[in-house]
Amino acid sequence: MLVLVGTAFLAVAQPAGDPQRGEALYSRCIACHSIERDRTGPRHEGLLGRRIGSVPGFDYSPALRRAGSAGRVWDEVTLDRFLESPLRMFPGTRMTYAGVKDAQERADLISYLKQAGATP
Amino acid sequence: MTEVMQPSFRLFSGRRSFLTLSATAIAMLAGNEALAAGETRAAATSDADILNTALGAELEAIAAYQVGAESGLLQKPVLDLAVQFQGHHKAHADLLAKTVKALGGKPVEAKKATDYRFPVERLKNQADVLRFAAGLEKGAVSAYLGAVPLFANRDLSKAAASILGDEAMHWAVLRQALGENPVPDAFVS
């Protein structure tokens, strides 16, 4: 039983992220996002720990506003799920992007967002 | 030039360039809902949302090239290139907006130029402007790559892929103008 539980835990653990690789991967995001300003998508400054759908003045989809009203926040787990498939996690999101399917790439991106997006 | 499906129709989108779309896609542009039969309301809404996200990014690109062209930092022939690429983005935006309307949606509108808050303080010379533009074009390639698989209507996937190809050409040309390898990898992501 302990072996099975341990195996299950290993199966869902996220790989460690590399922020340098993540910065290169962030080039995929810059059609719509930036760290410091709102564009087609909201800014990523202060993303980790931020309540979903909460950047003041940004026109979020109802789907993300609802998630925020329910108290959900962006952390490593929610970001990992969202980046894998935005439309599956929040149907109706305006981030109409198929997702980052590679777990290592997601970990790298999240690692970069944690570092670059830390609120000054 | 993209050959999609027969019968097809050439949509004139510039002085020398054409976008060939399938009859279904053209019918949607013309507001002919009958030819969109078979597409569920939910799928149509989702396709309009995807197109609107792309439209928002295209409108920003148009504004960014305007800033670049008016900056005084670009010399010919780079200036001519920027104006040409802006023209392509205007053609993309026009097609996307018409298709959103044909699908029953409301196209997003361009913001006021100042509301885009481009980082103009970081643009000191021609290379800075080119690098900024190249970054946006590369981002557009990735964004369309992420959008193409999502469309319920595969004709829209093809149209989006056609636009992706144009953005990739912009990116390569801008990299070349910067003295960088214009095609650094075998695949884009």
What Å distances lie between residue B160 and B64, B72, B141, B144, B164, CA to CA?
21, 33, 10, 6, 6
Identify whether the C-beta of residue B167 lies closer than 8 Å to the C-beta of residue B96.
Answer: no
Q: How many domains, chain B?
A: 1
CB contact under 8 A, B146 and A99: yes
In a domain, B116, yes or no: yes
> How many beta-carbon pairs under 8 angstroms link A with B?
60
Is B75 near chain A, with CB under 8 Å?
A: no
Between chains, do B53 and A32 touch, taking CB under 8 Å as contact? Answer: yes
Tokens of B143: 């964004």
d(CA B159, CA B9): 13
Cα distances (angstroms) measured from residue A110 to each of A74, B85, B87, B134, B178 = 10, 33, 36, 24, 30
Helices (H), A1-120: 2-12, 19-25, 62-69, 76-84, 86-89, 103-116
What pLDDT score does B160 carry? 97
Model confidence band, residue B141 (pLDDT cutoffs 50, 70, 90) = very high
Q: Give A-chain residues touching B143 at CB under 8 angstroms.
A: 28, 31-32, 97
Contact with chain B for residue A119, Cβ under 8 A? no
Mean pLDDT of A16-42: 95
Mutate to test the interface with A, among B50, B142, B157, B187 (most CBs of A within 10 A): B142
Q: Does B12 have pLDDT greater than 50? A: no
Q: Domain span at residue B70?
A: 41-177
Residue B22 C-alpha, separation from nearest chain A C-alpha, in angstroms: 23
Determine contact, residues A63/A69, Cβ cutoff 8 Å: no
Nearest to B99 by CA among B27, B23, B6: B27
* Preferred mutation among A25, A39, A43, A83 to probe B, highest tally of B CBs within 10 A: A39
The lowest-confidence range among B10-14, B19-23, B114-118, B132-136 is B10-14
Mean pLDDT of A34-55: 96
User: Which pLDDT tens digit goes with each residue over A46-72?
Assistant: 999 999 999 999 999 999 999 999 999
For residue B14, the distance in angstroms to the closest alpha carbon of chain A comes to 23
Domains of chain A: 17-116 (1.10.760.10)
Q: What is the pLDDT of residues B93-118, one digit of tens each?
A: 999 999 999 999 999 999 999 999 99
Q: Is B188 a domain residue?
A: no
Instruction: State which amino acid sits at residue B90.
Output: K
A46 touching chain B per CB within 8 A: no
Instruction: Say if CB A52 and CB A25 are below 8 A apart.
Output: no
Which of B34-48, B104-118, B147-161 shows the lowest per-residue confidence on average (mean pLDDT)? B34-48
- Decide if A43 touches B, using CB distance below 8 A: no
pLDDT tens per residue across span A70-95: 999 999 999 999 999 999 999 999 99
Residue B51 within a domain? yes
Query: Could A96 and B147 be called an inter-chain contact, meaning their C-beta atoms sit closer than 8 Å?
Result: yes
B29 in a domain, yes or no? Answer: no
Say if the Cβ atoms of B139 and A95 lie within 8 Å.
no
> Which chain A residues touch B56 with a CB distance below 8 Å?
32, 40
| Complex-level ipTM | 0.85
Helices (H) and strands (E) in chain B, counts: 5, 2
Instruction: Answer yes or no: is B17 within a domain.
Output: no
- Residue matched to tokens 């900056």: B71
In a domain? residue B89: yes
Q: Is A95 on the interface with B (CB under 8 A)?
A: yes
pTM, whole model, 2 decimals? 0.82
What mean pLDDT comes out for the span B17-46? 47
Top pLDDT among A114 and B9 is at: A114
- The answer as to whether B83 is a domain residue is yes
Residue B106's alpha-carbon distances to A99, B43, B56, B90, in angstroms, are 25, 16, 12, 18
B34 or B65, greater pLDDT: B65
Looking at the domain assignment, is residue B112 inside a domain?
A: yes
H or E stretch covering A42: none
Give the model's pLDDT for residue B90. Answer: 98
Predicted local distance difference test score (pLDDT) of residue A2: 53
| CATH assignment of the domain containing B63 | 1.20.1260.10
pLDDT at B4 over 80: no
Q: What is the pLDDT of residue B125?
A: 97
pLDDT band at B46 (very low <50, low <70, confident <90, very high): confident
**B68 Cβ contact partners less than 8 Å away, ≥ 6 residues apart:** B74, B82, B123, B129, B132, B133
Write the CB contacts of B166 (distance below 8 Å, at least 6 apart in sequence). B88, B92
Q: Which of the two residues, B129 and B42, has the higher pLDDT score? A: B129
Q: Determine contact: A96 vs chain B, CB below 8 A.
A: yes
In the prediction, which pLDDT does A117 show? 76
